[in-house]
Structures are given as C-alpha cells and as structure tokens.
Chains A and B, each alone.
Chain A
C-alpha cells in the first residue's frame, strides 16, 4: 500500500495552460500574431523614424513604398507609424475597459450568486435588461452622456460587457456554492468572506478569464466603431477606428489608408478568437484529466 510517492504529477497550472494553448498550430499562429502586435505597440517609437502626428503635406497619398511601407495618409503622415501608435490606443482601451468590466461584473455576479435574495433579483434584472440591447447602443448612449474621448470609450465598453461577466460569474458561483468543499469549509468555521474569496472566486475564474479574452476581441471592434464615428480617441491621437474613418472618404483615391487599419482590426480580432479557442481546448483537456478519479 505504500506507493513510491503519494503525490502524482500535477496537471498544468496557469502557465502550463498557456503553453498548451501555444502548442496547438492555430494557437501558436494566433498567439504569435498577438505577441507581435503588442510588442509593436510597446516599442513603436523604436520601430519607426517618424512621429505619428508629423504632417508632411507634400508627401500625402503616397502608396506603400520602401520609405513608407504602408504608404501615407491625406496629411502625409506615415501610415505604419500611425498604425503602431493606433495599436496602443486600441489595445489599451479595449483591454483596460474589459479589465474594469470583469472586476465589476465578477463582484456583482459573485455577490448576487452567493447571497441570493433581493440583491440577486435586482442584479439579474438589470443584467438581463442591458443584455437585451446591442452593445453598440449602450456604448453610444454612454459616450453621449460622458462625452467622446478615451475615458468615455472605456466607460462605454466596460458597461456594455458588464452584464455578460456578472451573469457568467453568478451562474458559476451558484453551482460552486453547492460543492462539498464549500460545505467542508463552512463546517470548519469559515465565514462568508473566506468562502467567497478563497474558494468560490478562484474556482470560478477560468471560464470568466476565457470569456474576458474573447470579449477583448469584441471590445476592439467596439472601440474601432466608436473611433469610426469620431467618438473615440480624439485627433491627433491615432486609433484604428478613426484612421478607417478618415480613409473611408478616400476609398478609391488611396485605398491603403482604410485597408491597413481594417486588416489590423480584423487580424487582431481573429487572432484573439483563435487564441481563445486554443485556451478553451487547453483548459478542456485539463478538465477531462481532472475528472479522472
């Protein structure tokens, strides 16, 4: 009965799951693209000799060339430079707003699922109500209230996705709170805070994180849409959405102005979704292994 070691090998944890996601072909390509874009955004000043707001009017409407790999826009600004700086805006606005959304949504959802009662009914009703409107509508209303700009966009995106995270967390917590280990913790004297923060939320985290990852892709589109309407980051700060907006009037004269930012949005969102799928698959494997007795 004495086995060589009582401890069998561990299932992959957080980093192991990431590694497994990168191990799949689609995950590797998508993940690699995302890493590239994030690095490009971070090191933008080192990667390009131009400034994003340097207007050289005599060089306007240049097609892609060696000097300007992605061409120039109607003010003669280097498009690649603006794309790299635009990635900063798009990525940071969408990820920060999703982060806010997850934090607030999880708190509301966890409290609603755990305590139930009137608070639960109120949170669920509001979440259902906001979920019945398209995100873009909620975002437009909020931007109209707060005003255009980066902070307005962030608030709009955060609120637009709040219901999704609140509902998901609530459902997770409601299943988890019936688990035996929660009863065990309670039978050993644990209070509400301990059970919520030490047991329930850590166990509910994985699906919420995956869903947050996928929502970040949607948020990039929402941010670009608001930018396209001129409600996002204000000029001269570049964002992919506002670049597409100015390019839309010049679609036939200088198609590269709208095509490249559009491609950036599309490939980034596809990459996020593919990587999210790879993450789900990696987590799924862990679930299956974990369910073995």
Chain B
C-alpha cells in the first residue's frame, strides 16, 4: 500500500526563486514525521504546499508532485483543495494567540469546521465539538465553548486550535511549530496530546519544528531541511545517536543537556543565506566545519545510510564512521 502522504521530488518557486529544491518525503498513518531546520530552510513552505495554500503567497510547484492517499494534489481544483483542507488534512497553526477570531465564541469556531466538512447540523456539530474538547482534556468544555479567545490561556487556545484541526475527521495533521509560542510545561502537554492522537486514532502527523527536543520526544522519523533541500532523513534514534550530516549533528549539538559543563553548549555560526544567494555545491559548506574542496563545487546527492535513512553529504561515511 502506498503511503498516505508522499512528496515526490518537489520543487517550489516563488517569483522565479526556487525555495524548495527536489524534496522527497513520505508519511504513513500512525506515523509522526518531524521536519526540522532553521528559519528559512523551507519547513513552513512545505506545510503550505501540502495544504494547497501555495498560490496564496504567490508560489507554484515548479516540478515534482504531492500524492495524498494516491491523489495528486495538483489534479484537484480550488474547490477540491478546500474540501481537503480542514477535511482530510487538518492544519494546526503556529501561534494560538492569533489563530482564533477574537470576536467569535470558541464553540462556534470549532462547530463550523464539522458543519462545513462533515455536513453536520448545528446541534450535532456542537455535540461533536464538546466531545472533541473532552478528548483533548479541556476542563469545563461547555463553559469554554461559550467563551471568547481572550478569556483563555495560550495552552488552552492551542488545544482549541487542535480541536479545530480534528473537527473535520482528518487522516493527516500538519502542525506548523505548534509549541513555539507556548511555555515549556504547556509544550509538553500539547506534544503529548498530539502524539496520543496519532497512536490512538492512527492519524499521520507532519510536525514542523525547530526544537530538536520536541523531535526527540515525539517523532518516528525526521527530515532535516537546510536551505530548501533535505540534508538528512532518518529514524529518530539513529539520527540522534550518530547523525550523518554535519548540519544534523550541529543541530543536535545545540540541545542543552543536564550536567553540561559551562560554555559547552554549541551554536552554529552564521545563518541560512537568503534564497537568492544559495552557494553552489553543498549549500551548507560555508558553515560546515568539515568542508573540503568537493563540497564547494559538487552538489551532494541523497544516499542511503546502512539503517535505511538518507543523507546528502560527500563526507557522510567519514563523519558518522
């Protein structure tokens, strides 16, 4: 059986600038795929592309395709995409503080999704809303449904946003940095809720984050993006034990650990270059501590690692070995 979501050699351009370059990913039911990288690496753009919102920001698919449950997203018209969004693909926005309409009651905002996508009546939609809120462990669901967004805490709002994403009975949830705007204890709860949904209901979750801690806690597989390309794509455990790409290794090096000596927390010098100034060869070479001549001229292709992952680095064997 083909995977639920399969991105095949996808390139995306906005205004003639290629921002995603030859990205391939796949995700199946019951799986969590983490998409990590710094700002500007193309994570959020991938999310927008998967939900068919690319034309909204003036982008277009330059080559490749996205298959959702065997259907090419490009073959669906605007109406078909609208039906998919919020229906079979749920979307969790980055900032729950601003993702809810301030002048609408919470309940109405969740109701409308199931009314729109499942064709439920007002009463049935509200019953479903309260049921969902209960599943997300929202206390006093009936009172919360009658409240306005400003009356709720950030963590509560993010649960509401997740409830909205779930209300259309999706198979896939795309979560774009769902915990970035929340404090750490609430982050853990939200991640627990999301992973719980995947395990219990067999949803697929595309989790976009720049927090390697969240990745380690939640994901099955990880794709590390750098400057619009996949640098490494592997299962979580081997990636964290023996990262093959210097960029992945550097990201893991940025996670603070208990008992670390003072001053030993590393950063990565420099930042992702703007898309118009991507360097030739391996795009990471200006910031890479291992870079040699070939990295400056030849683009490294994705190669399989012994544990079934993919890595795009000329020196992968030497570094991991």
B293 within 8 A of A: no
Residues of chain A lying within 8 A (CB to CB) of residue B185: 1
Given A6-B156, A7-B151, A180-B93: A189 touches B102 (CB 8 Å cut-off):
no
Is the CB–CB distance between B147 and A185 below 8 Å? no
Given A6-B138, A198-B112: A187 touches B98 (CB 8 Å cut-off):
no
Interface residues of A in 263-293 (CB under 8 A from B): 289-290, 293
Residues of chain A lying within 8 A (CB to CB) of residue B83: 189
Interface residues on A, range: 20 to 34
Is the CB–CB distance between A189 and B101 below 8 Å? no
Is the CB–CB distance between A184 and B151 below 8 Å? no
B86 within 8 A of A: yes
- Least Cβ distance of A243 to chain B in Å? 43
A203 within 8 A of B: yes
Is the CB–CB distance between B93 and A183 below 8 Å? yes
Mask of B71-114 contacts with A, CB within 8 angstroms, 1/0: 00000000000111111001101110111111110000000110
Residues of chain A lying within 8 A (CB to CB) of residue B130: none
A199 within 8 A of B: yes
A8 within 8 A of B: yes
**A10 to B91 Cα, complex, angstroms:** 28
- Least Cβ distance of A137 to chain B in Å? 38
Is the CB–CB distance between B101 and A199 below 8 Å? yes
Residues of chain B lying within 8 A (CB to CB) of residue A35: none
A9 within 8 A of B: yes
**A104 to B149 Cα, complex, angstroms:** 30
Partner of B51, one of A2, A10, A187, A198: A187
- Least Cβ distance of B193 to chain A in Å? 13
- Least Cβ distance of A201 to chain B in Å? 10
**A106 to B117 Cα, complex, angstroms:** 30
A202 within 8 A of B: yes
A5 within 8 A of B: yes
Q: Report how many residues on chain B are interfacial, defined by Cβ distance under 8 Å.
A: 45
- Least Cβ distance of B184 to chain A in Å? 12
Q: B79's closest neighbor in chain A, by CB?
A: A191
**A1 to B139 Cα, complex, angstroms:** 12
Q: A291's closest neighbor in chain B, by CB?
A: B150
Is the CB–CB distance between B150 and A290 below 8 Å? yes
Mask of A175-203 contacts with B, CB within 8 angstroms, 1/0: 00001110111111111001000110011
Is the CB–CB distance between A180 and B98 below 8 Å? yes
B140 within 8 A of A: yes
Residues of chain A lying within 8 A (CB to CB) of residue B147: 7, 10
A56 within 8 A of B: no
Given A7-B147, A198-B104: A184 touches B93 (CB 8 Å cut-off):
yes
- Least Cβ distance of A141 to chain B in Å? 38
- Least Cβ distance of B171 to chain A in Å? 14
Residues of chain B lying within 8 A (CB to CB) of residue A185: 101
Is the CB–CB distance between A189 and B168 below 8 Å? yes
Given A181-B98, A290-B150: A6 touches B104 (CB 8 Å cut-off):
no
Among A3, A184, A189, A191, which residue has the most Cβ atoms of chain B within 10 A?
A189
**A279 to B36 Cα, complex, angstroms:** 48
5 tightest A-B CB contacts, nearest first: A188-B86, A189-B86, A180-B98, A187-B91, A189-B85
What residues make up the interface of B, taking CB atoms closer than 8 Å to A? 51, 53, 56, 82-87, 90-91, 93-95, 97-104, 112-113, 116-117, 138-140, 143-144, 147-148, 150-154, 156, 161, 164-165, 168, 185, 189
